């Protein structure tokens, strides 16, 4: 194995592990927020805000971190980012009031910014034909949400919820040290120092960037939102206990994170557009079915009244959620394949912008979920909202990409020498 290949594998492996730990920390309120909600007497909207607060900081910081990564390199930025979260994570175990958790959640949320750092850092170590696969493997660190579903409930039941942030703080410190020891810096990956911040931010004027943001707000923002919400959903909708509910939620969370690597490979092979188009259609169908609420109907027949129950049992519901998670895992990879194909010299900034908007989806959606449940009392209303957002992506994609494909092919055929 060449020295360069060794460095590529080491950077990819350690970056993926580091992102897994960061993501596990980022969504830990999805588990510890449930006993905190009970202790503090919070309503659904307040729980949604509590779970989503770390998502806000992790989203807003993605753009400046992506820009900084382009300038000075991902290794130092990633290392400092992880160290900066260790103390706030631990302090959560000492918090006693709602505002304590919200403030500390903002600081802990910095861990979510690891994505825009790592995706740019990893991509530049690989040639373009392999970037989709490499970014897909790194993005599989989303499975950190599943780590929280497996680890946090066990710690919570055995030692109390305070044990979760204490263990996570130690894990983050250890991961930061390992990352620094086994990764490398290549200054040729940095953008020119002559490129100004204004020039980097010029990408905000590109409507195509905003379209990618819309796609990512579904496949990633929706993934984060449901990762935060599904444990509680299984508890309130189907009456499961904490550990069973978390394991069922992991059926959605874990495959969606891991499959992202395959999504990157398929995007390299078939193209970002084709992958994303089918992801949106599969999402549309699944969300339509998941939206149907548990319904009791009384039908007047010639023999009297007949009662009917319509609704998804837990196994059908979980199967649809599993398919949705797989689709979103592919979609998270295909959106970033768009970025590496169309913006190869500006990956950090573009991934920061797209990651920011996608992350904001993960922040606002849980709050909206809570408001919908508080107002309507219908748990499946959260999927109705996601169904509507998916419609926007499908329409936008059809108007800007699908309708242009025949025209592009026709033009290419005319221009081809006979």
- Whether 231 contacts 242, CB under 8 Å: yes
Q: What values do phi and psi take at 394, rounded to 5?
A: -60, -45
The angle formed by the CA atoms of residues 76, 91 and 86, to the nearest 5 degrees, is 15
Look at residue 255 in the predicted model and tell me its pLDDT.
84
322 CB-near residues (< 8 Å, 6+ apart): 251, 252, 255
- What pLDDT was estimated at residue 101? 95
- Counting beta carbons within 10 angstroms of the beta carbon of residue 230, is it exposed (0 to 12), middle (13 to 18) or buried (19 or more)? buried
CA 328 to chain centre: 9
Burial of 143 (0-12, 13-18, 19+ CB in 10 A): buried
CA-wise closest residue to 133 among 336, 321, 365, 313? 336
Structure confidence at residue 10 (pLDDT) = 92
Q: Which helix (H) or strand (E) holds 354?
A: helix 347-376
Domain ranges of the chain: 3-187+196-412
**How does pLDDT run across 121-141, given as a tens digit for each residue?**
888 888 877 777 788 888 888
What confidence score (pLDDT) does residue 193 get? Answer: 57
Mean pLDDT, contiguous 10-residue spans, the chain (418 residues) = 81 94 92 92 91 90 84 90 96 94 94 88 82 82 86 91 96 96 79 62 77 88 89 91 89 82 81 88 95 87 84 92 93 84 74 82 88 91 93 86 56 43
- CATH of the domain spanning 3-187+196-412: 1.20.1250.20
Q: How far apart, in whole angstroms, are the C-alpha atoms of residue 15 and residue 24?
A: 14
22 neighbors 174 (Cβ within 8 angstroms): no
* 3-class secondary-structure state, position 220: coil
The span from the CA of 39 to the CA of 109, in Å, is 23
Cα gap 194→197, rounded to integer Å: 10
Tokens of 195: 């490129």
pLDDT one-digit tens code per residue, 68-78: 887 888 899 99
């Amino acid at each position: 194995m060449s020295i360069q290949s060794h460095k590529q594998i080491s950077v990819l492996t350690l970056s993926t592990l580091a992102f897994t730990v960061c993501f596990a920390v980022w969504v830990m309120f999805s588990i510890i927020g449930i006993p905190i909600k009970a202790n503090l007497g919070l309503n659904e909207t307040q729980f949604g805000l509590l779970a989503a607060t770390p998502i806000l900081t992790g989203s807003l910081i993605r753009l400046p971190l992506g820009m900084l990564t382009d300038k000075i390199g991902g290794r130092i930025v990633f290392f400092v980012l992880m160290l900066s979260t260790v103390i706030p994570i631990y302090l959560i175990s000492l918090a006693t009031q709602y505002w304590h958790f919200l403030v500390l959640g903002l600081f802990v949320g910095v861990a979510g910014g690891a994505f825009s750092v790592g995706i740019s850092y990893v991509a530049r170590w690989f040639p373009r034909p392999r970037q989709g696969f490499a970014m897909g493997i790194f993005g599989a660190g989303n499975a950190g949400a599943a780590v929280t579903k497996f680890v946090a409930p066990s710690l919570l039941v055995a030692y109390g919820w305070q044990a979760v942030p204490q263990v996570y703080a130690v894990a983050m410190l250890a991961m930061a040290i390992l990352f620094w020891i086994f990764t490398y810096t290549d200054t040729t990956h940095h953008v020119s120092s002559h490129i100004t911040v204004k020039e980097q931010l010029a990408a905000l004027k590109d409507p195509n960037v905003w379209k990618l943001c819309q796609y990512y707000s579904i496949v990633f923002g929706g993934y984060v939102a449901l990762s935060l919400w599904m444990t509680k959903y299984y508890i309130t909708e189907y009456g499961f206990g904490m550990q069973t509910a978390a394991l069922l939620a992991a059926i959605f969370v874990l495959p969606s994170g891991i499959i992202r690597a395959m999504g990157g490979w398929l995007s390299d092979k078939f193209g970002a557009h084709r992958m994303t188009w089918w992801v949106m259609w599969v999402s549309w169908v699944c969300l339509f079915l998941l939206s149907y609420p548990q319904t009791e109907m009384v039908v007047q027949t010639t023999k009297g009244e007949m009662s009917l129950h319509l609704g998804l049992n837990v196994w059908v519901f979980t199967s649809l959620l599993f398919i949705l998670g797989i689709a979103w895992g592919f979609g998270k990879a295909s959106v970033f394949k768009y970025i590496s194909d169309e913006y190869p010299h500006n990956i950090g900034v573009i991934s920061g912008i797209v990651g920011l908007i996608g992350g904001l989806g993960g922040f606002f959606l849980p709050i909206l979920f809570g408001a919908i449940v508080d107002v309507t009392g219908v748990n499946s209303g959260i999927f109705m909202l996601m169904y509507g957002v998916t419609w926007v992506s499908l329409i936008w994609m059809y108007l800007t990409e699908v309708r242009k494909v025949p025209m592009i092919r026709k033009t290419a055929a005319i221009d081809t020498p006979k």
